[in-house]
Copies of this chain bind each other. A is one copy, B any other.
Amino acid sequence: MYPFRQGSFAPKNCWYVVANRQDVGRELLGRTVVNTPLVIWRTQGGEAVVLDGRCPHRHFPLAKSQLEGDTVRCGYHGFVFDASGQCVEVPSQDHAPRACRVRRYPALEHGLWLWVWVGDEDKADPALLPPLSEIGLEGEGLTGTPLIRREAACRYQLLNDNLFDLSHLAFLHGSSIGTRENASTPEELVKRPGFVSSIRRIRDAPVPATMWQAMDGYDRIDRAMGMHSYLPGFHAGTTEIAIPASHPTRGGERLMWNRVYHCITPCTPRTTLYHFAVAVAPGVDTAALKVALDPVIDEDVFASEEIEKIIALYDGDPPPELMVKSDTNAVEGRRMIQAMMDAESQGG
């Protein structure tokens, strides 16, 4: 499906953020990842468990069921599954059949998130997770905090595309976090397998509306805005703000440094789970940041959902897009994700 080849929806042999770690506890969570219903909880020993969320008896959602110790009891006919997914009790008979089990999915707590792998289990390699040192959750003195979670009524790639091309900050977010320089400044691009990134180093330019308070009175700043995308759906952004080099005494001094994280997880072909988090220096008020950034994420979801509606007018097959230079990462990122899907369908 657009923008991928017909029949291509989303790769499965990859790690997706399925929840914030802090939200995984002693209440059952329900999520859908690439059309797979999941149930998630934390055992009494503290381990995060992700099982297939469909009771194999009658398809009832285990996420709408009951947690009992380290097991989940289906809310319909009471079948009990342990943390390995094995059914250990069928209340209407003495023994639970061995064949009664649900799949347990590889899941890892890493950074602020619980990640799940819904593809081939033997390919689930922790080394494929974004390194914490690379994404600024280790070694930079920043503290990470999950801020926002949304379910968007659009295909996931529209939210990826949004992040592959940050020139949209100048317009979609022109009244909040962007200025015209977010579009006009040239990008420095990097790509490697499964990864694309972009940095714009904006020099001696106006301060975006939402950042005034942190600017210490300066009304022109240097701003380096980066986005580092770990395919298929994790985007680590960087913001570094400094006093312009031309300043007689303080030129180059850093005023602000933070990280943002956009986790884009395909649920169904036209719905997407969106986790947004930040990592900030000591003393930064993340509650205020949430107030400032909530409407920004709303704008991204709005744009993506509007595009989904336009696509629907063309029965999901819109006319070809016109690509420009700032689409380099979108073109490259889509190509890599398509290649992941192609490899899977060829059993690769």
Q: Which residues of A contact B (CB under 8 A)?
A: 32, 35-37, 53-54, 56-61, 64, 73-78, 90-93, 97, 99-100, 161, 165, 167-168, 170-172, 180, 183-184, 268, 303, 306-307, 309-311, 313-314, 318-319, 321-327
Contact = CB atoms under 8 A, between A and B. Distances in A.
Give chain A's interface secondary structure class: loop
**Copies of this chain:** 3
6 contacts: A37-B313, A54-B319, A74-B171, A77-B170, A78-B183, A93-B324
A78 B167 contact: yes
- The winner among A57, A77, A91, A325 for most chain B CB atoms within 10 A is A77
B167 A77 contact: yes
A133 to B, nearest CB: 31
A261 B196 CA distance: 57
B170 A91 contact: yes
Contact of A171 (B59, B75, B180, B326): B75
Nearest to A183: B91
A314 to B, nearest CB: 7
User: Which of A97, A170, A171, A172 counts the most chain B CB atoms within 10 A?
Assistant: A171
Given A170-B78, A310-B37, A57 B324 contact: yes
B161 A58 contact: yes
B310 A77 contact: no
A35 B324 contact: no
Contact of A60 (B32, B58, B61, B303): B303
Contact of A35 (B168, B313, B323): B313
A90 B171 CA distance: 12
A100 B172 CA distance: 20
Contacts of A77: 165, 167-168, 170-172, 183, 326
A86 B56 CA distance: 51
A91 B184 contact: yes
A14 to B, nearest CB: 19
Given A78-B183, A167-B92, A35 B321 contact: no
Contacts of A74: 171
B310 A59 contact: yes
A91 B171 contact: yes
Given A54-B310, A59-B318, A77-B326, 6 more contacts: A61-B306, A76-B171, A78-B167, A91-B167, A91-B171, A97-B322
Nearest to A313: B35
A91 B97 CA distance: 64
B303 A75 contact: yes
Contacts of A60: 303, 306-307, 310
A168 B36 CA distance: 25
